Amino acid sequence: MPDAGRDVPAAHAAPAASLDAFLAGIGARAFRFAELALRQREDALDAVQEAMIRMLTYRDRPADEWTPLFWSILRSRVTDQQRRRLFRLSWLLPQATHEDGEPVDWADDGPDPARRHEGREAYARLADALARLPRRQREAFTLRVLEELDVATTARVMGCSEGAVKTHLSRAREALQAELHDWRTP
């Protein structure tokens, strides 16, 4: 006769496996979101890792709740990282180096290095323009345009009304168009 206790882990294995798949599928996009907000690769990696670990406590929630829940958690982690950065004492930490100060390996073993370089350049230009946006505009643009979340889900993630999301998104688009008007992809 099978042990009833052995059936319980099997019942929890399916949601955990699908949560693993969800997290694996959202990881790269989440990192880009955090990196745009934090501007530091290590801080972004930490924020995404913390959000993913936190999501494990919600594995029993319905799968349709995972997307807004994850983005809300990640947004909170990014905000926490930004607050921590404000309170650090500069004399206790080594001087922060900007990404420009780090050596960049431009070697490209792909079949079309020029195209990859253009892609990196385009991403860097967009990332710089997004970084100059106010936080709420950047969040609205990233979640609605890059992540393709609907207005209602974006409002839940940002903790505001749908009208506020539309306003932030409209202002972000205007600012980005003004900043990037002279730049065209070849």
Q: Report the CATH number that the domain containing residue 149 is assigned in CATH.
A: 1.10.10.10
pLDDT of residue 11: 39
Residue 103 lies in a domain: no
Which residue would you say has higher pLDDT here, 49 or 93? 49
Residue 1 lies in a domain: no
Q: Check: CB of residue 79 under 8 Å from CB of residue 66.
A: no
pLDDT of residue 101: 57
Residue 171 lies in a domain: yes
pLDDT of residue 81: 84
Clarify whether residues 120 and 76 are in a common domain. Answer: no
pLDDT above 70 covers a percentage of the chain that reads 70
pLDDT of residue 115: 63
**pLDDT grade for 114, boundaries at 50, 70 and 90:** low
The predicted-structure confidence for 32-76, as pLDDT tens digits, reads as follows 989 888 888 898 999 999 999 999 999 999 998 999 999 999 999
Domain ranges, residue 46: 10-87
> How many structural domains compose the chain?
2
**pLDDT grade for 112, boundaries at 50, 70 and 90:** low
Which residue would you say has higher pLDDT here, 176 or 94? 176
